[in-house]
Amino acid sequence: MGIAGLTRCLEPHATRYRHEDLSGYQAIIDGPSLAYHAHRLALLEIDHQPRIPSYADINRLAFAWLNALEALNIKVWRGQVMCCMQSRGCDAVCTKSAILFDGALPLAKTDERISRLNQNNQRVKLLRSYYAATACPVPSPLGSVSYSFLAPALRESLNHGRFAQVTWVVAGEADESCASCAYAHPCSIIFSSDSDMLLYEYPTETRIMFFNDIELMSEPEFKGYSPAQMAQSMSRSSLVPFAYCLVLDKHQTFNALVEQAKKVDVESKDYIDFSRRYERPGTSEPYPILREIPAIFDRLSSIPQHLDVRISELVHRLQNGDSSPVVYLPLLVEDPNSASAWNFGQDLRILAYSVLVHGNLLESDLTQGLHGSAHVLREYVRKAQIAAIQPLSLLNHPDMLAAATGFDSIMRVSLDRLQANRTPTELTWQLIASDLLLAMTPSPPKVSLLLRVVIGDFDKTWDFVHLAARYHAVLYSLRILKQCVSFCLNAQSSSSTPYAYQALESLREWFKTMPSIENLFLVPGQEKAVTANAEALRRFLPDLYAVHQLEIPNEKTSSKKMRKKQREAERKGRRKKEVNGRQSFNVFDVLNKE
């Protein structure tokens, strides 16, 4: 995101730096931008190889990039000071550096988000049109679109490593909080890919650097901007008037824009509307407070720090009384000619959202305001060829407790079965997801195909791509439920869980063993996961078909015949849904089979 053409206009006025010039600066890093930059580095690392990077590859290079900054004495995790509240009895070590991730995006960006979803969907559709038969190449042309959980995967990895102390989820967008941190410690460099970062007001010492303008891995090279100095040269306090003129007429020269910026009516409604988001951070509070380290981080510590952005955003919306909140589910790379993979796991997500809505029945300060604020939640998912709203009716409190108890029973039965079969513990969640997927599917896949999806052995077919999307939808729905349950229980004010919520407590215990995104989500086209348990999976997967009384498809069935059979099964499933007037793929129906 950002203002089109802004960086191009200002680039001739950027400054090149030696790394010695930046020694001792504190790093303030836009986390999502770092994730996308690490993806680009990963693509360069595997240049000309017939695969795409894994989440683990991307996270590894993000860590390498941060360590390279540290080696140049641009401080990331070493940017620490003793707490300024020591005089009040606090002996904590606080940080001046920060890696910041979005907690919620403003409603003003709704159209932009939907547009981006549709653009990415069109890229998948275009790839599908080029390969209209069964074959699907390694999806290199999709770039970062292949990674539905790129920023959450990096945030999670950072939270479990040496950079945990400087990694934060903020209340809004990361870029606004990056600017606030620069006020807290002026001798900072903000690293981002968002040109909007140039438009805030900064101390003269602050530098803005874009990831594409930096070389760390070989001979260090830096190119950066001083917004304060550039604004002073235009006789302005910030670059916002310049950007405003650029938006009005992107064809003007730099000098013409500078002159127009001097004449901008800063009291006009249009300008005020444009500039509002770039106002000095903390204008609603006494400004000196924000200059006290770690005042900003004290504020951030009150925000849930282990939620993915979509759940963090949902919590924020519910706490602010939104009666019909929206969840923008990430685009899954799937066969656009088939029904949305997000149909899978829908019941798990409804339970998760309902747990959030009824959260303040646990008498928690953090969950106050959630209860009863919403009865319908809307998800943005792919429908046909566009992103569209899918309304979901949330469960009332008794039904939520019943569903939680039901799913706890499913988990207990599944885990007991795995333990009885002496299943390796590292396969637990792959098999749970496979179990749930088979319970939801109207037409079971071949065992060999499901096995390849679970271990990431891409066979270059659209059948693989779409089954992987369904598998990921189930896995991420489980992750959503995990985070919603943990948020509500962790936030409770009482040290003991009410008896009625024992099922939620039990679910939280199950979920503690769920692996991270980088260890669980294998992207079609990445290198096959190295596992000593492929044979064990080959033995266990057929048992799941038997549990759900599913006929194991003939491995020799032609792909054309199989697709026809699958489409017919899906049509029957949709007709059944219309007749019954209820959701299909109800995972809790599996209880009736036990």
pLDDT bracket for residue 276 (50, 70, 90): confident
Note the pLDDT of residue 568: 60
pLDDT bracket for residue 93 (50, 70, 90): very low
Note the pLDDT of residue 216: 86
Residues 171, 102: Cα–Cα separation, whole Å = 7
In this predicted structure, the answer to whether residue 421 has a pLDDT above a threshold of 90 is: no
The neighbour count for residue 200, using CB atoms within 10 Å, is 26
Residue 347, token pair as written in the block: 């019941």
Note the pLDDT of residue 285: 41
In this predicted structure, the answer to whether residue 87 has a pLDDT above a threshold of 50 is: no
Q: What is the mean pLDDT of the chain?
A: 84
From the list 146, 471, 481, 106, the residue with the least C-alpha distance to 307 is 481
Residues 376, 392: Cα–Cα separation, whole Å = 6
From the list 241, 227, 233, the residue with the least C-alpha distance to 182 is 227
Note the pLDDT of residue 586: 60
Average pLDDT over residues 242-249: 91
Q: What percent of the chain has pLDDT over 70?
A: 82
In this predicted structure, the answer to whether residue 539 has a pLDDT above a threshold of 70 is: yes
Average pLDDT over residues 99-117: 88
Note the pLDDT of residue 286: 33
Contact present, 183 and 291 (Cβ < 8 Å) = yes
Average pLDDT over residues 546-563: 76
In this predicted structure, the answer to whether residue 146 has a pLDDT above a threshold of 60 is: yes
Note the pLDDT of residue 279: 76
Please name every residue paired with 29 in a beta bridge, in sequence order, or none if there are none.
99, 191
Q: Nearest 5 degrees, angle CA 121-CA 126-CA 131?
A: 125
Instruction: Provide the total of helices (H) and of strands (E) in the chain, helices listed first.
Output: 21, 12
From the list 515, 501, 587, 491, the residue with the least C-alpha distance to 548 is 587
Please name every residue paired with 388 in a beta bridge, in sequence order, or none if there are none.
381
- pLDDT tens digit string along 210-231? 999 998 877 888 999 999 999 9
Note the pLDDT of residue 77: 64
Residues 461, 482: Cα–Cα separation, whole Å = 32
pLDDT bracket for residue 362 (50, 70, 90): very low
In this predicted structure, the answer to whether residue 559 has a pLDDT above a threshold of 80 is: no
Better-predicted residue by pLDDT, 59 or 258: 59
Contacts by residues 267-272 (CB-CB < 8 Å, ≥ 24 positions apart): 271/241, 271/244
Note the pLDDT of residue 470: 97
Residue 183, token pair as written in the block: 């006020």
Average pLDDT over residues 435-441: 93
pLDDT bracket for residue 573 (50, 70, 90): low
Note the pLDDT of residue 284: 41
Residue 64, token pair as written in the block: 């390498």
Pick from 115-124, 128-137, 515-524, 570-579: least confident = 570-579
In this predicted structure, the answer to whether residue 460 has a pLDDT above a threshold of 80 is: yes
Pick from 64-68, 93-97, 330-334, 498-502: least confident = 93-97
Identity of the amino acid at 495:
S
Q: Prior bond to 137 cis, omega within 30? A: no
Better-predicted residue by pLDDT, 370 or 104: 104
Note the pLDDT of residue 493: 56
- Return the SS3 of 132: coil
Domain range annotation of the chain: 6-110+147-297, 309-580
The CATH number of domain 6-110+147-297 is 3.40.50: yes
Residues 280, 567: Cα–Cα separation, whole Å = 56
- pLDDT tens digit string along 151-202? 999 999 999 988 998 999 998 888 888 988 888 787 899 999 999 999 998 8
Note the pLDDT of residue 591: 46
pLDDT bracket for residue 583 (50, 70, 90): very low
Contact present, 188 and 25 (Cβ < 8 Å) = yes
Buried b (16+ CB within 10 A) or exposed e, 400-435: bbebbbbbbbbbebbbebbeeeebeeebbbbbbbbb
Q: Which of 20-29, 470-479, 541-550, 574-583 has the highest mean pLDDT?
A: 470-479
Note the pLDDT of residue 119: 92
The neighbour count for residue 309, using CB atoms within 10 Å, is 22
Better-predicted residue by pLDDT, 340 or 592: 340
Q: Which of 41-50, 175-184, 372-381, 506-515 has the highest mean pLDDT?
A: 506-515
